[in-house]
Amino acid sequence: TCHKRPGTPGVGKTTLGKELASRSGLKYINVGDLAREGQLYNGYDEEYDCPILDEDRVVDELENQMREGGAIVDYHGCDFFPERWFHIVFVLRTDNSILYKRLETRGYGEKKLKDNIQCEIFQVLYEEAIASYKEEIVHQLTSNKPEELEDNINQILKWIEQWIKDHNT
């Protein structure tokens, strides 16, 4: 079973992913870390002051791990991952005022802040997810408060449990 968790930066993907992995025994893969460690880039974006991900190399790098299954994949986009990799996709959403504060705390510049908030307002990543995967496997989860993190973890753990039951008969 593999899960994908796209969402705007600052919505809590990494916190959720790591906690889920530790409670479920699934493998946690942070695509940003993987790219950094393997230098899986094909240039630099001056405007956003960040490296440009080489999506093909990321897919090549992950292919074997994903074939084995049992992975939680953490990244803020999802349109370049093969559909066959995921049984369910969770898109985290955060209220814009909360998100703004989280990104500001991370030191995001004005343009990066504005673009990420707009991305959240227009549900860009949710739209991308339903365009990339079967709509019935894409779910939105609210991620504003610590209590919601716990609710989301419990909801996903229940889903994993059910998936395992359904597929081990």
Binding site, annotated residues for ATP: 10, 12-15, 106, 145
CA angle centred on 150, ends 112 and 84, rounded to 5°: 70
**Separation of alpha carbons 168 and 1, rounded Å:** 11
Residue ranges for the known binding site are 10, 12-15, 106, 145
